[in-house]
Amino acid sequence: MRRRNLLAVIGGVLASSLAAGAQQRTMPTIGILLYNARTQHGGEDHPLILGLRDVGLVDGKTVKLLLREAEGAVERLPELAAELIAAKPDVLVTAGPQPIAALARATSTIPIVMAIVSDPVTYGFARSLAHPGGNLTGLSMVNTELSSKRIDLLRQMSPEISRLAVFTDPTMGPQGLPETAAAAGTLGLDLQVLPLAADKIEEGFAEAERAGAQALLVMPTPFYNLPSVRQQLGKLALRHRLPSMCEEISYVRDGCLMSYGPIFAAMWRRSATYVEKILKGASPADLPIEQPTKFELVINLSSAKALGLSVPPILLAQADEVIE
């Protein structure tokens, strides 16, 4: 009896081990490429991770997550993309044109979910929003269509401005600039477009001051959306007394006067639904690229006070969040 019991126990252990091994081998793998560090989104729980949990994709339980972080170093993106591709994940997730391009150059077969990108068609990532047609799909933040709204809000805040400095990342190409110029022309504003790498921000402010700029529009780019760069933008905008409009709330928390745009955390979280659909067999070529329907206006009252501006009641009423 003891021998039979022993054999039964051994058999049970072996069966459990084999089952666990099989589960581990068949567990889907999700590769994640982040330009910024994961903790820069407010803690260890990146909104993508939260979104994956929402749809039942939990690291170590139902999926295996492979995370690579460039920590603001663009030159690392190709290397990190290659590492993820070598692991043969079932799906990849990233955001921003440069990280997306790094993955797209590395694979034309593994599905890629774009959590945030301004114009995937212009960048060549998709044939159209309705029918992407390749191995990439996800969410687009239609920044080109937000330019006129951002300038209009800035003008409402500071009606006397006539010359607007525009900081733009030269690696982003002309994304949004034609629309920005058209919107500025409609309002009778002169534009001073300054292509600036993230390490040239201080020189940009000096040039804007020499040209008589009265306000600042910061064009969207992941290379400006780093804590150190955001803080520098906020501090120097106040020092040079330039009312500033930025793309999203993180900038306003770091001193920018205003922001208007989609909610990045919500887009990251929503991208998890694309991952789920692809893991269930959907083809990225057939999944339409979504555009956000919710945009938020954020105002920094401390920055307004430092600039000597009184925030119009109509803007306060429109604001989704006011930072004291």
pLDDT tens digits, 148-197:
899 999 999 999 999 999 999 888 777 778 888 988 988 889 999 999 99
Per-residue pLDDT tens over the stretch 299-322: 999 999 999 999 999 999 999 999
216, 165 Cβ separation under 8 angstroms? yes
> Residues 211, 225: one domain?
yes
3-state helix, strand, coil in the chain (%, to 5): 45, 20, 35
Task: Identify any residues that bridge with 138 across adjacent strands, giving them in sequence order.
Answer: 114
> Residues 187, 43: one domain?
no
104, 77 Cβ separation under 8 angstroms? no
> Residues 175, 311: one domain?
yes
CA distance 35 to 72: 6
Residue 3 half-sphere exposure, CB side, CA atoms within 13 Å? 0
Does residue 80 sit within a domain? yes
- Which is it for the CA torsion 107, 111, 115, 116, positive or negative? positive
Does residue 7 sit within a domain? no
Does residue 79 sit within a domain? yes
- Per-residue pLDDT at 12: 56
User: What is the pLDDT of the chain when averaged over all its residues?
Assistant: 89
3-class DSSP assignment, residue 115:
strand
Does residue 248 sit within a domain? yes
Please count the structural domains in the chain: 2
Give residue 126's domain range: 28-142+264-286
CA distance 130 to 202: 41
What is the band of 7 on the pLDDT scale with cuts at 50, 70, 90? very low
* 11 Cβ contact list (under 8 Å, min separation 6): none
User: Where residue 253 sits, what CATH number does that domain have?
Assistant: 3.40.50.2300
Judged by average pLDDT, the poorest of 8-17, 58-67, 284-293 is 8-17
Does residue 23 sit within a domain? no
